Amino acid sequence: MSTHRRFGHDDPERRKWQNPDEILASIGLKEGFTLVDLGCGSGFFTLPAARMVGSEGKIYGVDVNQEAVRELKIEIERRGFKNITLRVGEAEGTVFCEECADIAFFGIDLHDFRDPGNVLSNASRMLKPCGLLVDLDWKKETMDFGPPLEIRFDERKAMNLIESAGLKIKTVGDSGPYHYLITATK
């Protein structure tokens, strides 16, 4: 696990350079969808996703950071969400369901997993046949914040990992000044 700064569920600094609502809308998240948030942390994407999918939708989230998940559970309770299932643990060993997810989402964290290939394979198992895998991650460029450059994946490495998990790349592009976004299908 890396030592770079973790962001809270409503981090105002992060919102200056990353809008979770816009990103989730741009990947086609809709009411009634099921989204798996791999590396959900304290819910920066989890909470907006839960609102967007509504009471008929479902959000699954997993993270190794017990404190972040605890904070997220408190916020879920405070907001009254009933459509979120959380697990503390490694995504390498987590499969919430078989072919249930419309979207498997990695929010700036694919580089953090001990075995990203295994996590991507698990994500593929959870995706519906028409589901979408989304990898939003840091560009491999020097910046004043974010994870160390040496642990970041450039787009080519991320694409190779995704393809190695049996997925087909659909789109690759920028997502703001600091990130890229890759989508893939089964």
- The distance from CA 161 to its chain's CA centroid, rounded to whole angstroms, is 16
pTM of the model: 0.93
> DSSP code of 78?
H
**For 21-28, what is the mean pLDDT?**
97
The kind and range of the H/E element at 17 are: helix 12-17
Sign of torsion, CA 77 32 6 127? positive
pLDDT tens digits along 141-176: 999 889 999 999 999 999 999 999 999 999 999 999
Extract the runs of DSSP E, i.e. beta strands, from 64-126: 84-88, 101-107
Domains along the sequence of the chain with CATH: 12-185 (3.40.50.150)
150 CB-contact burial (10 Å; exposed 0-12 / middle 13-18 / buried 19+):
exposed
- Using CA atoms, how far apart are residues 146 and 138, in angstroms rounded to an integer? 8
